[in-house]
Structure 1
Amino acid sequence: MTSGELVVKREGPILRLWLSNPERRNAITWPMYDGLEKVREIVAEDPGIRVVALRGAGGEAFAAGTDIRQFADFTSGEQGVEYEHRIGRVLSSLLQIRVPVVGIVEGPAVGAGLALAACCDLLIATPDAVFGAPVARTLGNTLPPLVLARLQKRLGAGRTMAMVLTARLLPAPEALVAGFVSDLVHRDELDAAVEELLELICRNAPLTVASLKEVERLVDRDGPGADADEVLAAVYGSRDFREGVAGFLAHRKIEWEGR
């Protein structure tokens, strides 16, 4: 794998992504951010993709934040604002991906790595994984509204603020209890568990899965009274829904086509 880049590989209905900067614990470089921002477009243009899998290369870390070497030439607050806006565009793009994004976390997911993990729909982690944004102890920078809001949604406001204000790292078992992590799996069983989860998602009705993500986005934006009629109509008017009803009543296997 190339160092300091996002590695992208399509395998059947799965789009696999690796954060590849292993000599720096997969700290995220500008080219890696650029690659991540393009993933939404890749998925949008390929209806055969059913799920995205994101993990760190090398198995030692998910991502140890942004590669700090890129901050060395920052001389003004405006550069920090530009940086956070850039990261915001990347994270917003990831949140708009139409298919589920599964994060696989081994070792640390901190700083920007935590933000990426928070943008995944499901997280599988090893027991030694840790999560956090210890910027108050390390760099002395801060978190933008998008990141803080996403963390509060996924971890809860109280746990999020306790974590960032104390600059402590959240161990994987605690992240599991909080619901941030979906499942804890030992390293020797991780690959098998990941493939099982990806296969399970790929077997589901793609329009239904995409609609659930879209409704969640609408609720995040507009609350429980959000207007989702267009989404509902598209699903209930689909060939897949008609096939689902017919297959259920006939007790036969349903073949989802995504239309």
Structure 2
Amino acid sequence: MPVDSNTSYQSPTDRVEAWVDAATLHIRFNNPARHNALSVDMWQAIPPLLTQAEKDDAIRLVAFSGAGEKAFVSGADISQFEDMRAAREAVTFYEAMAEEALMSIYHCAKPTLAAIRGYCIGGGVNVAISCDIRIAADDAVFAIPAARLGLGYRYSALKNLVDLIGVGAAKDLFFTARRINAQEAKSLGLVSRIAPPAALEALLAEYTDAIAANAPLTVHAGKRIIAEILKPSPDLDRELCQTLIRNCFESEDYAEGRRAFMEKRKPVFKGK
């Protein structure tokens, strides 16, 4: 198991909360008056927190959630649209800021998970599909309403959606802007598992405990190799994949895993 984190995680805004529990950095969107709609300061809070987590050997997982019982994230804070998206320069700034936040999640070296309850709309879906894993309460509601607002939708968000649920399902959700429940989201592959609202915390604990107990070098290598698999064939870095695999086999953790298996005990991985 990892040692306790010695890193202090301080969010730059009260509308994003950050704390460490065992080997997990929790990031919670805290704008319940607006159903956790993402304001500018909330977008900007994400990259520096993830940068810290990547440097912290004690952190094995970053888990995102929403404050309260109504929403994970209900979208972008449209009260800021007139100021932030009305003019060409403002659009450019806003889109670059949101893209940086989402890509910081997508490219985070540590595994990321979205624990979703209630509304997961627009920008909330983008945050969720930027994560590696998505779990949801069975009261969750998902939608991508861009077509109802006349917004241009960024390439990276649509690519993530297509990669996750396929072309047909992505077109269905995007063209209609319809809302779907947690059961349909699971059937599409948008979320991995669902649970009653009262059991979502226990389901999250399954993931935090399991990932904390597993070999971090192997998890890291798997995440990097999957990212290579998703690239177009000419851009695939096979040498990197082989290096990542070799590093696992040459690690102290691999030796510990073999010993633990032979001794019929749980391994104690150190990420070395």
TM over 0.5: yes
Alignment partner, residue 128 of structure 1: 139
CA distance in 2, matches of 1:142, 1:75: 13
Is 1:238 matched with 2:238?
no
Moved more, 89-98 or 213-222: 213-222
Kindly report which structure 2 residues correspond to 1:155-194, keeping only aligned pairs within 5 A, or say none. 155-194=165-204
Query: Larger deviation: 160-169 or 191-200?
Result: 191-200
Gaps of at least 5 residues in structure 1 are: none
Which residue among 233, 250, 254 is the counterpart of 2:263? Answer: 250
Match of 2:5 in 1: none
Residue pair 1:4, 1:28 contacting (<8 A) in 2 also: no
Residue pair 2:13, 2:41 contacting (<8 A) in 1 also: no
- Please say if residues 40 and 96 of structure 1, whose CA atoms lie closer than 8 Å, have aligned partners that are also in contact: no
**Which amino acid is 2:192 matched to?**
S
Change in 2 beyond 3 A, CA 1:78/1:191:
same
How far residue 64 of structure 1 moved from its aligned partner, in angstroms, is: 0.8
Does residue 13 (structure 1) correspond to residue 29 (structure 2)? The answer is no
Q: Which moved more, 1:213-222 or 1:13-22?
A: 213-222
Deviation at 1:4, TM superposition (A): 5.9
In the TM superposition, residue 78 of structure 1 has moved relative to its aligned partner by 4.0
Q: Aligned-residue CA RMSD in angstroms?
A: 1.9
1:26 aligns with 2:36: yes
Q: CA deviation at 1:214?
A: 1.0
SS of the residue corresponding to residue 71 of structure 2 reads coil
Alignment of 1:32-51 (within 5 A): 32-51=42-61
Task: Please name the residue that 1:203 is paired with.
Answer: 213
SS of equivalent residue, structure 2 residue 260: helix
Offset of residue 222 of structure 1: 4.5
Q: CA deviation at 1:157?
A: 1.1
Distance 2:154 2:189 in 1: 22
Q: 1:257 aligns to what SS in structure 2?
A: coil
Q: Is the 2:29–2:73 Cα contact (8 Å) retained in structure 1?
A: yes
TM-score norm. by structure 1 comes to 0.93
1:93 is the counterpart of 2:107: no
